[in-house]
Amino acid sequence: MKVTLPDGSPRDLPEGATAADLATAIGRGLAKAAVAATVNGKQADLGAPLHDGDTVAILTANTDEGRYVLRHSTAHVLAQAVCDLFPGAKYAIGPPIEDGFYYDFELPGGAHFSDDDLERIEARMRAIVGENQPFIREELSRDEGLERFAEQPFKVEIIQAVDPEEGAEGSAVSVYRNDGWADLCRGPHVPSTSRLGSFKLMKVAGAYWRGDEHRPMLQRIYGTAWESDKALADHLHRLEEAERRDHRKLGLELDLFHFPPEIGGGLPVFHPKGGLIRKLLEDYSREEHEAAGYDFVWTPHLTKSTLFEISGHLGWYADSMYPPMEMEGATYYPKPMNCPMHILIYQSQSRSYRELPMRLFEFGTVYRFERSGVLHGLTRVRGITQDDAHIFCAPDQLAGELTSLLQFVLKVLRTFGLTDFEAELATRPEKFVGEPAEWDAATAALREALEAAALEYKVAEGEGAFYAPKIDVHVRDAIGRRWQISTLQVDFQLPNRFGLEFVGADNARHRPFMIHRALFGSVERFFGILLEHYAGALPAWLSPVQARVLPVRADHELYATSIVGRLRATGLRADMVEADEPLGARIRKAKLEKVPYVLVVGDDDVEAGTLGVNPRGGEIERGVGVGAFVDRLREEVESRS
Ligand SMILES: [Zn+2]
Ligand SMILES: [Zn+2]
């Protein structure tokens, strides 16, 4: 028989050959790295027989999909180990997740796992891996499935509710068995447990069955699994780094912001230094928007329900909105979006093609309901300040506008040392509003923008919102974590719902295209991401104190004060700490505050008009002329390097 490889090349195989045979035929290296296969676009076990005409790709362990298979298989082994060690344990679901996996359990008598239990479970898992147990797929009828899992109420519920994701198709269920233990599962899995091993159990947490607070609280064990011990070690190191960089911790240490319980979760206050950084971010953003031809607008935080009835948000977005307030016979909401308000500004008068593209920009604070359980420092808050722009343009301007817009976005992000981009183009889903031809035109324009920016991108087929195709820009930070930051969306709903128009050169009325764009996404979240990216050591242009002058002794203070004066006179942010404490202690404190430049002045400096430069993370220089240092720092700040 003949199968086709992903690159389109054909491959002859004997009848009855499996994906594993194909991998071996291609090469030993591939066979070793293989964990599963994709056959005609569907994932399958390596042991699944192939058929003439199949298109087959081998999934290797070092890819996202391959790691999912490893993690999912390791989750099975986790549940198997728990069942071995805790007779009577009920197991619920255990999916792979980003960087790992989890499995939810209910222990007899409502018992909880302890940290010691995790060690015991991990040891049992290693024993199962050592036993090289094959993962065997079995297809059962619904009734056989119900019988097999009679003692497992969560599995019974899944079979009864029919969940193809979990292997319960309705009339048939699929099961993966290793040794005597089996799980309801769609697969695929690695061929045998010996293929696993680079894993670690991380923690236990509570989780409601089906995420429903009215259902039983289960015990969730989280773990991580990788293709090699090296990849696992790298991941654990990244976690340590991430903890060291945690913006919530840095926010307290650097006195930037906090979350007062009196105000409530997800609602931060920014302290003077945090407020200053925020202002610097915003000032820079405003400057760039001004240069790029944006108009600045401002809109209120509350609105009558009427606006969100017209926009349709009350129909499909109500769950993310805060409850209404009744005032003087009308219903008001805190706004979850700025868009409809910008539309009203567009609509405040009749628009001519000569005014387009019209680019409206605002730092608009919106309020979105987030469950308290998912709030996370500044990266998940309830009051979100979006750097929000809406661009109204004529259809023939769309492609050009998107192209320059995307380049604008990347330029601004690069200023923050974020240079490793990945983009995702999300296209028309099955249910959509608008005309297919318009969707095609907009999607082509988005694609053109991506190609003009030479940006690497993936196409998320059918994953656009029902009203808009979009580009999501992701960045990798200094420790390789991926953050979704900017979004560009072409909206097919709001222009119609609001009946937007412009008068064309032909004197006829036309409907403009509307682009939604958030660049930082939210100022709060971007602030948190930046703090972690820089590990709190912000570049000089964003640092609340750019230079700290330290006199060696009290009789150098007058000279130190004069240096502070010179720095401040040129607009730099400098301070001095008097010689009440030993110099070493003051230097350490400045380093903890992540001040970019510590300037030490002593006898020689007073005499020669110089200073000693102790830069953050750099070499100490002595006898630097004051004027030369001021120029150097100004240059660094002005260039935002
Ligand atoms: Zn499974
Ligand atoms: Zn919008």
pLDDT in tens, 351-399: 999 999 999 999 999 999 999 889 999 999 999 999 999 999 999 999 9
Q: How far is the CA of 266 from the centre of ligand 1 (A)?
A: 36
Q: How far is the CA of 388 from the centre of ligand 2 (A)?
A: 7
DSSP state of 379: T
Whether the per-residue pLDDT at 13 is higher than 80: the answer is yes
What one-letter code names the amino acid at 397? Q
pLDDT, tens digit, 9 for 90 and up, residues 558-569: 999 999 999 999
**Spatial contact of 20 and 34, defined as CB atoms under 8 Å apart:** yes
> In sequence order, what are the beta bridge partners of 304?
332
pLDDT, tens digit, 9 for 90 and up, residues 257-271: 999 999 999 999 999
CA gap 447, 455 in Å, rounded: 10
Give the number of whichever ligand sits closest to the CA of residue 487. Answer: 2
Quote the pLDDT of residue 321.
94
Residues serving a catalytic function are: 339, 368, 386, 388, 390, 470, 516
163 confidence band (pLDDT: 50, 70, 90): confident
Quote the pLDDT of residue 461.
93
Strands of 351-456, DSSP E = 358-367, 383-393, 420-426
Quote the pLDDT of residue 257.
98
Give the number of whichever ligand sits closest to the CA of residue 187. Answer: 1
Quote the pLDDT of residue 372.
87
Quote the pLDDT of residue 623.
96
Quote the pLDDT of residue 164.
79
pLDDT, tens digit, 9 for 90 and up, residues 479-488: 888 999 999 9
Percent of the chain with pLDDT over 90: 93
Q: How far is the CA of 459 from the centre of ligand 2 (A)?
A: 22
Token code pair at residue 114: 């302890």
CA gap 221, 93 in Å, rounded: 11
Q: How far is the CA of 45 from the centre of ligand 1 (A)?
A: 11
Q: How far is the CA of 341 from the centre of ligand 2 (A)?
A: 9
Element spanning 496, H or E = helix 494-497
Average pLDDT over every residue of 158-184: 87
166 confidence band (pLDDT: 50, 70, 90): confident
β-strands 597-601, 547-551: how paired? parallel
Give the number of whichever ligand sits closest to the CA of residue 95. Answer: 1
Average pLDDT over every residue of 446-456: 95
Average pLDDT over every residue of 149-164: 91
Quote the pLDDT of residue 211.
87
Q: How far is the CA of 268 from the centre of ligand 2 (A)?
A: 23
Give the number of whichever ligand sits closest to the CA of residue 186. Answer: 1
Quote the pLDDT of residue 634.
97
pLDDT, tens digit, 9 for 90 and up, residues 186-235: 989 999 999 999 999 999 999 999 988 899 999 999 999 999 999 999 99
- In this structure, the number of other CB atoms found within 10 A of the CB of residue 412 comes to 19
16 confidence band (pLDDT: 50, 70, 90): very high
Q: Is residue 319 left, alpha or beta, with left meaning phi > 0 and alpha meaning psi from -120 to 50?
A: alpha
Quote the pLDDT of residue 434.
87
Q: How far is the CA of 342 from the centre of ligand 2 (A)?
A: 8
List, in order, residues 6 or more apart from 547 with CB less than 8 Å away. 567, 572, 573, 574, 595, 596, 597, 598, 599, 633
Residues lying with their CB under 5 A of ligand 1, a single-atom ion: 185
Quote the pLDDT of residue 407.
96
Give the number of whichever ligand sits closest to the CA of residue 166. Answer: 1
Residue 461: helix, strand or coil by DSSP?
coil
Element spanning 562, H or E = helix 557-569
What one-letter code names the amino acid at 247? H
Quote the pLDDT of residue 606.
97
161 confidence band (pLDDT: 50, 70, 90): confident
Whether the per-residue pLDDT at 47 is higher than 90: the answer is yes
58 confidence band (pLDDT: 50, 70, 90): very high
Quote the pLDDT of residue 167.
77
Is the bond leading into 615 cis (omega within 30 degrees of zero)? no
Quote the pLDDT of residue 462.
93
Q: How far is the CA of 22 from the centre of ligand 1 (A)?
A: 23
List, in order, residues 6 or more apart from 183 with CB less than 8 Å away. 76, 79, 91, 94, 155, 175, 176, 177
CA gap 267, 264 in Å, rounded: 6
Buried b (16+ CB within 10 A) or exposed e, 108-145: eeeeebeeebbeebbebbbebbeeebbbbbeebebeeb
Backbone angles phi, psi at 13, to 5 degrees: -135, 150
pLDDT, tens digit, 9 for 90 and up, residues 68-96: 999 999 999 999 999 999 999 999 999 99
